[in-house]
């Protein structure tokens, strides 16, 4: 049970949260993608890393991402309560007090950054700290409610994990790490705008200025298509830069072509029901796409090391 007080704040009703509710504050589904992309960055980086140190590095990055999720839920409890997708999150549902989420977010942020610094190096730790700051302050507090470009700029936060993984091994940020960053960065707008297209009324009710609500469906579909084209082009950079081979090239070309087909299908729809169906299709596929692209990078590297290719 939850209620909104005079200031529009969510006041939690005293109750006992389950351990799972605290885990939900860490946004485990987002965390799983962070773990995977960070792991790929770590394994692609030249030089190699002790498995225990590598495990602690990925764990620290995951906990740091979770901490920023908790800070996001602390700050956004009021709008989460107004959207069907997020209304059952622990704070708007009244199972966890906002202050607890804030405390958990801050403590885990500090622990994850210090642990990563001690385990690997302070460049990686600094990047993790910046990622948490970027997501919690720049995206959540400044951009999300202010501009329809919120998820474009805010998407940088989700793009850092492979770069942090890379930095954890090498102690530096190279062109390859920037390409991994760029792939996620360019993937984020089509992914979230597809969601925003079929959840438009939700974002409208919450007062979040997502692109479809501000610029309209037509403009959003054009933007999605443009970002998709640039994304697929950038996804073909790893073989050109020499850090992936034939297997990845084929995978990126096929999955990229399907991405463009899906974005093109959405672009051509005129009728509302068909548009929402196409947007849902693109949103679902985009999740598989990012996973497959990073999996292909990993398999390509492992196959290359094993001498299969």
Partner 1 sequence: MAVMGQPVDREAEQAARRRRRSLVLALVLAAFVVIVYALTIAKMGPGVLQRPL
Query: Could you tell me the smallest distance in angstroms from the CB atom of residue 198 to partner 1?
Result: 36
CA distance 131 to 82: 27
User: Measured in whole angstroms, how far is the alpha carbon of residue 178 from the centre of its chain?
Assistant: 16
Cβ burial of 171 (10 Å; 0-12, 13-18, 19+) is middle
Residue 54 C-beta: closest distance to partner 1, Å: 10
List beta partners, residue 273: none
Helix, strand, or coil (residue 10): strand
What's the token pair of residue 60? 């620290």
Q: How far is the CB of 129 from partner 1 (least distance, A)?
A: 19
The values of phi and psi at residue 88, to 5°, are: -95, 10
Biggest CA-to-CA distance, the chain: 66
Identify which of residues 18 and 85 has a Cβ nearer to partner 1 in the complex. Answer: 18
Q: How far is the CB of 88 from partner 1 (least distance, A)?
A: 18
22/291 with CB nearer partner 1: 22
Q: Quote the least distance from Cβ 76 to partner 1, whole Å.
A: 24
DSSP of 119-152, one letter per residue? HS-HHHHHHHHHHHHIIIIIIIIIITTT-TTHHH
Task: Give the residue with the Cβ less far from partner 1, 122 or 291.
Answer: 122
Nearer to partner 1, 60 or 262 (CB): 60
Please say which residue, 2 or 309, places its beta carbon nearer to partner 1: 2
Question: Among the residues of the chain, which ranges form H helices?
Answer: 19-24, 28-44, 51-75, 77-80, 98-119, 122-133, 150-170, 175-198, 200-206, 211-215, 217-235, 237-241, 246-268, 272-306
CB closer to partner 1, 55 vs 133: 55
**Of residues 52 and 273, the one with the C-beta less far from partner 1:** 52
Nearest to 266 by CA among 304, 309, 228: 228
What is the closest distance, in whole angstroms, from the C-beta atom of residue 59 to partner 1 in the complex?
A: 7
In the complex, what is the shortest distance from the CB of residue 14 to partner 1, in angstroms, rounded to a whole number?
10
Q: How far, in Å, CA of 123 to CA of 276, rounded?
A: 43
The CA R_g of the chain, rounded to the nearest whole Å, is 20
- Min separation Cβ 15 and partner 1, Å: 8
Q: Between 62 and 278, whose beta carbon lies closer to partner 1?
A: 62
Q: Which residues bind partner 1 (CB under 8 A)?
A: 15-19, 22, 50, 52-53, 56, 59, 115, 118-119
């Amino acid at each position: 049970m939850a209620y909104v007080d005079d200031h529009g704040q969510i006041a939690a009703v005293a109750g006992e949260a389950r351990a799972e509710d605290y885990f939900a504050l860490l946004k485990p589904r987002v965390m799983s993608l962070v773990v995977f992309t960070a792991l790929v960055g770590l394994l692609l980086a030249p030089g190699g890393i002790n498995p225990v140190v590598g495990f602690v590095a990925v764990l620290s990055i995951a906990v740091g991402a979770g901490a920023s999720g908790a800070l996001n839920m602390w700050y956004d409890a009021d709008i989460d309560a107004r959207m069907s997708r997020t209304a059952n999150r622990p704070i708007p549902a009244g199972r966890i007090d906002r202050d607890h989420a804030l405390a958990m977010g801050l403590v885990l942020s500090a622990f994850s950054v210090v642990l990563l610094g001690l385990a690997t190096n302070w460049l990686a730790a600094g990047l993790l700290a910046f990622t948490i700051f970027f997501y919690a302050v720049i995206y959540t507090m400044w951009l999300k409610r202010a501009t329809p470009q919120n998820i474009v700029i805010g998407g940088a936060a989700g793009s850092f994990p492979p770069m942090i993984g890379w930095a954890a091994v090498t102690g530096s940020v190279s062109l390859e790490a920037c390409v991994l960053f760029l792939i996620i960065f360019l993937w984020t707008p089509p992914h979230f705008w597809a969601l925003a297209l079929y959840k438009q009324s939700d974002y409208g009710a919450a007062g979040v200025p997502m692109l479809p609500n501000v610029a309209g469906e037509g403009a959003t579909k054009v933007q999605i298509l443009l970002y998709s084209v640039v994304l697929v082009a950038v996804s073909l950079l790893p073989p050109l830069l020499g850090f992936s081979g034939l297997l990845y090239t084929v995978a990126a070309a096929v999955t990229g072509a399907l991405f463009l087909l899906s974005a093109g299908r959405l672009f051509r729809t005129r009728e509302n029901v068909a548009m929402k169906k196409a947007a849902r299709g693109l949103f679902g596929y985009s999740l598989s796409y990012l996973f497959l692209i990073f999996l292909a990078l990993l398999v390509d590297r492992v196959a290359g090391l094993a001498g299969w290719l």
